[in-house]
Amino acid sequence: MKTKWPKHTRHFAILSTVVTMGSVFATLGTAGASTTTAHPTFVYLQTNGEQSYFVLEGKGATAEGAKLGATVHVENENNSSATTISDEQAAIAAGDQGVIIVAPAASLGPRLVAIATKAHVAIEASDNGFAGSNGKQVPFVGINATAFGANTGKLLVGYYKQSHWTASSTYMLLYVVPSLPTCNERTNAEKAALLKAGLPASHIINVPYDGTSTAALNATGPVLTAHPQATHWLAAGCNDDGVYGGLKAATSHGVSVKNLLGVGLGGDLACQIWAKGAPNVGFVATNYIYPNAIGATAVEDMYNYVVKHKPFPANTYVTPIPIDRSNFRKVDKAC
């Protein structure tokens, strides 16, 4: 039975193609195929369990587990590949029958899949997709990264055109996480939208960060210093945190808020700062994701596979929902 979410929170579309038992286990072995327990235990390994997005995702996962009669342990991997590997091994050794993993880097995929395959334990990717050594993607729950990036870019272009800034005076801060394909897909699509709108490629500056606001803030100052000719700054990136951190750095650097426009991706941080009335730093909009539902759906799919032997959907995608200060509470009433 699929989870029933209120209209303002349930925005998923399951692809019509699913991963069959045979195709899954060509990659994953016979994970879960012989499981008979109706009360399984799963582990949910998250890259940054302290980030608001993942806190909400974890709550959705544990709540769905309780509803189904499954136990879900949510672990914070602190962006560490070594910790992710060791925690996966520990969970399997403890008897967990399914592992749901937000991989800190796609390159970790073959190792993660090999561990689960050897133990005959089901594995599922959340948020950051990854594949086994044979290139076959692990069943995935999250966003269509290119579509989200394209929508974020479209939003930013709209604000850029409304501002009537000239391309010659406008530069863009693009917050990238090179090790994560899902982030590259988002930011590549954002960049493409701005290029199409006429912003010169030389005016779009990649700012590497680790997905946190602090890292984005620290990385932005040197970029601003290196481009004194810029009057106006646009900002986009892999998530809300990068954009917000960068815009805060810009205001601290002396850039006027009237010369800043940033559009995030995710909505979890935007919801917090707008609800708390944080000072305006030019963070004008974001594309909303409901992380609770991602966590819940990942657990539901895992339960259906391990207990009911239903094939995993190949992908479960959430639809982007543009929000700003005027409508964010209507979209997420928890804000």
pLDDT at 328: 93
Each of the 335 residues of the chain gets a pLDDT tens digit; together they read 333 333 333 333 333 234 433 334 334 433 443 444 789 999 999 999 988 899 999 999 999 999 999 999 999 999 999 999 999 999 999 999 999 999 999 999 999 999 999 999 999 999 999 999 999 999 999 999 999 999 999 999 999 999 999 999 999 999 999 999 999 999 999 999 999 999 999 999 999 999 999 999 999 999 999 999 999 999 999 999 999 999 999 999 999 999 999 999 999 899 999 999 999 999 999 999 889 999 999 999 999 999 999 999 999 998 889 999 999 999 887 67
Residues 6+ apart with CB under 8 A from 102: 44, 45, 46, 47, 54, 77, 125, 126, 127, 128
Which tokens go with 334?
């928890």
Rounded Cα–Cα distance for residues 199 and 304 (Å): 47
Backbone φ and ψ for 246, nearest 5 degrees, come out as -65, -40
Tell me the C-alpha distance between 160 and 261, whole Å: 7
Model pLDDT, residue 51: 87
Q: Are strands 12-14 and 315-318 parallel, antiparallel or unpaired?
A: antiparallel
Q: Is the dihedral of CA 157, 159, 165, 169 positive or negative?
A: negative
Q: Show the domains of the chain with their CATH numbers.
A: 12-138+290-319 (3.40.50.2300), 145-288 (3.40.50.2300)
- Residue pair 288/321 in contact by the 8 Å Cβ criterion: yes
The predicted structure's pLDDT at residue 52? 86
Comparing C-alpha atoms, which of 245, 324, 335, 322 is closest to residue 292?
Answer: 335
Give the pLDDT score at 185: 97
Amino acid 187: pLDDT: 98
Contact yes or no for 207/220 (Cβ under 8 A): yes
Query: CB–CB of 292/9 below 8 Å?
Result: yes
Q: Whats the size of the chain, residue-wise?
A: 335
DSSP letter (8 states) at residue 279: P
Q: Residues 243, 182: contact at Cβ < 8 Å?
A: no
Which SS3 state, helix, strand or coil, does residue 15 take?
coil
CA count, 13 A, side-chain hemisphere, 179 = 14
In this prediction the pTM is: 0.80
Query: What pLDDT was estimated at residue 332?
Result: 80
Q: Are 138 and 124 in contact (CB under 8 A)?
A: yes
Residues whose CB is less than 8 angstroms from the CB of residue 296 and which lie 6 or more positions away in sequence, other chains included: 3, 60, 61, 63, 64
| 16 Cβ neighbours under 8 A, 6+ residues apart | none
* First and final C-alpha spacing in the chain: 28
Query: Bridge partners of 207?
Result: 175
Q: In which region does residue 200 sit, left (phi positive, over 0), alpha (psi from -120 to 50) or beta (all else)?
A: beta
Give the amino acid at 204. I
